[in-house]
Amino acid sequence: MHAIATRSLTKHFRSTWRRRVVGLDHLNFAVRENEVYGLLGPNGSGKSTTLKLILGLYQPSEGEADIFGMSVERTVSRTSVGYLPENPYFYRYLTGAETVRFFGRLCGMRGRRLEEKVSELLALVGLEAHRDRRLAGYSKGMLQRIGLAQALVHEPRLLLLDEPTAGVDPIGSIEIRDLILKLRGMGKTILLCSHLLDQVQDVCDRIGILHYGKMILEGDVKGLLARKDQFQFTCEGLDDPARARVREAIRAAGGRLISEGNPATTLEHLFLQSVRSADRGKAAPSGATRPVDLPTAERP
Amino acid sequence: MRKRALLAVALLLLAFAAKGPWEHHLRAQRHARRLGAGESLSVELRARLGQNLAVALLSGFRGIVADFVWLGAHTAWEDQKWYKMREGIELAVLLQPHSISFWDIGAWHFAWNASYGESVNPKYPSDAYRLKVQRDWILAGKAFLERGILNNPESWDLKFKLGWIYYQKLNDPLGAVPWFQQAEADPEAPLYVGRMVGHMFVKGGRHDKAYAWWKRLWFEDHAKHPEQLWYKIAQWGREAEEKLRIPTSQRVFPPVQKKSKVPNSR
Amino acid sequence: MKTSTPRLGFSFGRLWTIGRNTMTEVIRQKFFYILLVFGLVVIASSRFFAQFSSVEQIKFIKDFSLAAMTVFGALIAMVGTAELLPLELENRTIYPILAKPVHRTEFLLGKFAGMAMLLLLTILLMSLIFEGLLLSTEHQLLASAAASASAPGAEVSAQEIADQILHQTRDPALLKAIFLIGIKALIVCAISLLISTFATSVIFNVISSVIIYICGHLEAGARQASLGDQSPIVRGLMLVVAFFVPDLSAFNLADAVVLGQHIPLRLVANTAAYGIFYAAIALALAILIFQEKEI
């Protein structure tokens, strides 16, 4: 059984100016159990619309959607799905613990079981230290994390994350990314909407690209990205004559050299490395030329 | 889904239709008991209040509007502007014709305050004129109370107050008797109302009637009204027996010495 | 799947969770404090009309306090309820809630329940101040009554005067008036919630509520006018008003209570039942609209 399956899912919006706007156009896609699926697309391509349809916040104009085989029109289907909205806002006057407790109660949890769950989730998202602080004083990254905690409170098998790292600083977004991988390790299925492609690439097993409400590309991340006709070496310790010999060897083997040069690190890597070494009390490396391994969690 | 929504809308329309007769029933019940009198305003009242105040009135603030009108009358009394005071009082009872206190205190303002104020008004040419104006105000108070009683026939209080005007301001204690008696007939009336009837007979010189009245009170069940001033009634009864020279054997009221044995004496 | 067709029944637990949170939410808003404090001050100020005689004074305090309870109860109901849904939508706090296994009916009724509890609390507070005023006035009046009745030759005993004062200050019928004021506020609350299911503007909602409130008091007149000799358009309009708008004048028994008129308990119960019936219609309509609403 698929975690999510849509059949001809369509949504029209009425706008005052134009007669009808298509938000989603006969979408067919499925998310398998225990995979991280990335739903990509430019703004207005229908990502959020898809999520809202799956959550029953919108009613489809046509077609249908299921969660673990149960129609999303039924409220009961929401027992197996947790949702982290885009830029989540919760009641600002509640503390972190109160927020998770509130959502736990909404899911019918009570007493000790609820209290234990609250503590467990706050620990999972790393907010134990801030559990009694009001959300009004939370940073964006903390709000995302408390959002994740509330999404998990009723132990759903499926998580819908809408732009989980939007507006969060790089460290925070790495932490959220790690959390997503950890959740996948716990057996959850995750549908992720994002337009921060770097991150999608790091965590997703499969992706789909939406454009004007239509799925224009779908597939396995590695399969989609790998260029099977090309190959890349990254070496150390070669001087100029040695490099010339390598070029010669390539030509002799019948290959064609497409590019060469010092590989540049990404700004993100530079930023992370600087901040972390500053944290350790060391001076930031000056002009790192060596590519640094992504500090992501090991993938299971 | 659509069908269910349509069904729900139909049910709701039915519910809205059902509320009409219900409202009508409630309104009829209120009217029968003269509660919330004058939900529809008389043309006269509307004209006297102006449209805005009329709306406030209809929105359930009749009591407050009347109280502020009354406040104006009260100020006019303090300023000794008797006609202005009268105008305010008249408007207040027009607004709340079931307000016992408006009729009661209004009549008191006329028969006591205005009449006295005019009786010492230096602007008037002669004492005879002052006396006439004074009496006019007393009669105005009496007429006012009579209207109050017409509007509130169930109120013992207004009847009692009308009797009081006969007694205190018109020096006609026997004229007060029927009003005190009517007031006393109301089971809610306090016991002093009944005693006043006897006093009026005494003051009017009708000791025979007073005696009959004291006896009537005396033979009521003492246990039922422990708060009644029984020892006083006994005293007044004895006084009547003295006045009427009732033979000792026929006397009903206990002699003074036995006062302490009278139930619940104070 | 353990069961073939799992069902999610209506839960008062969820309703209560949302209701309690709604109450906290409104209590933390500025307008609520302002209105509540102002209401309490208005009630307390009725004590300053002390130059009146005892009956006048008691009537004034009662009229003033009950009117203040009516006005501030209705205002808190209107403003508080009007903001509930728009705030949830604007702050997007509604998304995570409805993404949980929560029926929309539970959410909406929870909002109503929270507001209803708050109104109960508000009216209770105002009643306490009111009662305090009555008792302090009573205390004062009893003292002066005792002084005047102890004069020699008085035909009325101090006890009898005191009884009359107590009859007015300790009037259990006041509870009937306060009860109906509460029911009226609930109707206003339900109407405002209904409007907020389709109107996004708080101002529009409050204005509409006020208009309906006034129409509700003129409803009886509208019904009459619909039979009168106005133009057919006016008559039709009046008919529509009379059909949809509740008869709020039915709840104006406070004046009669203050005047000491007898109001049978049956009439109070029947009027309250009518009010609850109307609130239920409004809520049902609100649920119907909210079910279909795209959030």
Name the range with the highest mean pLDDT among B25-39, B110-124, B221-235: B110-124
Judge whether residue A287 has pLDDT over 70: no
pLDDT at position B85: 94
List, in order, residues 6 or more apart from C76 with CB less than 8 Å away.
C32, C35, C36, C118, C119, C122, C185
For residue B68, the SS3 value is helix
Residue B236 tokens, joined: 């007044």
Domain extent at residue C208: 12-145+159-292
**What's the N-to-C CA distance of chain A in angstroms?**
23
The total domain count for chain C is: 1
**Interface predicted TM-score (ipTM):** 0.84
pLDDT per position in chain C (295 positions), as tens? 444 567 788 888 899 999 999 998 888 888 888 888 888 888 888 777 666 777 788 888 898 889 889 989 999 999 999 989 998 888 889 999 999 999 999 999 999 999 999 999 999 999 998 998 888 888 888 888 777 665 555 566 777 778 878 888 888 899 999 999 999 999 999 999 999 999 878 999 999 999 999 888 876 666 665 566 667 787 788 888 888 899 888 898 888 888 888 899 999 999 999 999 999 999 999 999 998 888 7
Q: What gap in Å lies between CA B242 and CA B250, rounded to an integer? A: 12
CB contact under 8 A, A74 and C8: yes
Candidate from C157, C264, C281 with C-beta closest to B229: C157
Q: What gap in Å lies between CA B138 and CA C254, rounded to an integer? A: 33
Nearest-CA distance A107 → chain C (Å): 6
Candidate from B17, B36, B190 with C-beta closest to C249: B36
- Does a structural domain hold residue C2? no
Nearest CA to A100 out of A75, A71, A125 is that of: A125
Please tell me if residue C242 touches chain B, with a CB cutoff of 8 Å.
yes
Candidate from B36, B101, B199 with C-beta closest to C256: B36
CB contact under 8 A, A93 and C24: yes
| Cβ contact A171:A272 at 8 Å | yes
Per-residue pLDDT, averaged over B207-226, amounts to 88
Nearest-CA distance B249 → chain C (Å): 30
- Specify the pTM: 0.83
For an interface test with A, which of C14, C26, C95 has the most A Cβ atoms less than 10 Å from its Cβ? C95
Please tell me if residue C277 touches chain B, with a CB cutoff of 8 Å.
yes
Q: What gap in Å lies between CA B239 and CA B201, rounded to an integer? A: 13
pLDDT at position C290: 92
Residue in this structure with the two tokens 């249908």, named with its chain if needed:
A64
Q: Where are the beta strands (DSSP E) in chain A?
A: 4-13, 21-31, 36-40, 62-67, 70-71, 81-84, 158-162, 189-194, 206-211, 214-220
- Does a structural domain hold residue C7? no
Identify the band that residue B265 occupies on the pLDDT scale cut at 50, 70 and 90: very low
Beta bridge partners of A159: A82, A190
Q: What gap in Å lies between CA B144 and CA C216, rounded to an integer? A: 35
pLDDT at position C221: 64
- Count CB neighbours of A170 within 10 A: 14
- Does a structural domain hold residue C16? yes
For an interface test with A, which of C8, C32, C84, C100 has the most A Cβ atoms less than 10 Å from its Cβ? C100
Residue B199 tokens, joined: 């006093």
| Cβ contact C100:C8 at 8 Å | no
For residue A36, the SS3 value is strand
Q: What gap in Å lies between CA A2 and CA C62, rounded to an integer? A: 67
Residues of B numbered 23-62 whose beta carbons fall under 8 angstroms of chain C's beta carbons: which are they?
23, 25-27, 29-30, 33-36, 39-40, 55, 58-62
Please tell me if residue A11 touches chain C, with a CB cutoff of 8 Å.
no
pLDDT at position C184: 95
Nearest-CA distance A29 → chain C (Å): 21
Chain C residues lying within 8 Å of A70, measured CB to CB: 1, 6
Instruction: Pick the more confident residue, A36 or A167.
Output: A36
Length of chain C measured in residues: 295
pLDDT at position B181: 93
- DSSP for residue C48: G
Domain boundaries, chain B: 206-266
Classify domain A4-225 at the CATH superfamily level.
Answer: P-loop containing nucleotide triphosphate hydrolases (3.40.50.300)
pLDDT at position A296: 43
Hey, what's the torsion of the CAs at A216, A221, A225, A227, to 10 degrees? -120
Candidate from C220, C261, C292 with C-beta closest to B40: C220
- Does a structural domain hold residue C39? yes
Please tell me if residue C163 touches chain B, with a CB cutoff of 8 Å.
yes
Please tell me if residue C160 touches chain B, with a CB cutoff of 8 Å.
yes
For residue C122, the SS3 value is helix
CB contact under 8 A, B16 and C243: yes
Identify the band that residue A291 occupies on the pLDDT scale cut at 50, 70 and 90: very low
Q: What gap in Å lies between CA C102 and CA A150, rounded to an integer? A: 14
